[in-house]
Structures are given as structure tokens and as C-alpha cells.
Amino acid sequence: MKGFPSRNYADPTRAGEAKRTLPSTQAGDWYAQAVLAAMRLRGKEPRWRSVIVLPDFPRHRELHGQTVASLSAAQIEVWWIDQSGHLHAP
């Protein structure tokens, strides 16, 4: 699982160095990758349950709000993990 992207690199050799990509943009890329993986799973195994689990951050909620109808139509669920580690499934 990935959390929300940071502004600086986690790699100790690049500590203090800012990433070129903004965290909000990177979060969108990660969201898109999760949606694609879930859609591919639905295509490959249509009887399986396809779930995306995301850390509960405003940017992820915003992206989900923009795609909720399409995800629902594709029978892809989104679950949330809050900062204390609790899972919230619909």
C-alpha cells in the first residue's frame, strides 16, 4: 500500500531534495494506476470482487468523486484507510 506522496524523497541519499512532481499530481498518477489495475482484474476475473483501497486524504476523495459513477458501473469498490489504520468499507 502507498500512502500520500511526500514533497521530498524518502531515499536517504536524496534526503532534503524536493521531487520535481507535485504530491497532488503524483497522487493522481497512483490513483490512475490503481483504477487501471482494478479494471484489468474485472476484465480477467469478472466474478471476483475488485476493490481499491486508498488512504483517506482529500486529494484521493476528490479523485474518487470524479470517477465514482464509472467505478460503480464497472463494479469496482473503493475502501478507505484512515490515518489511525482503520479500514472503512461501504
Query: Which pLDDT does position 43 carry in this prediction?
Result: 94
Residue 53's H or E segment, with its range, is strand 50-55
Query: Which pLDDT does position 71 carry in this prediction?
Result: 97
DSSP state at residue 13: G
Q: CA of 71: how far to CAs of 12, 32, 75, 85, in Å?
A: 38, 12, 6, 24
Instruction: Per-residue pLDDT tens, the chain, 90 aa: give them.
Output: 455 555 555 667 767 765 566 667 788 998 999 999 999 999 999 999 999 999 999 999 999 999 999 999 999 999 999 989 999 998
Residue 65's H or E segment, with its range, is helix 58-73
Give the global pTM: 0.73
* Domain range annotation of the chain: 19-88
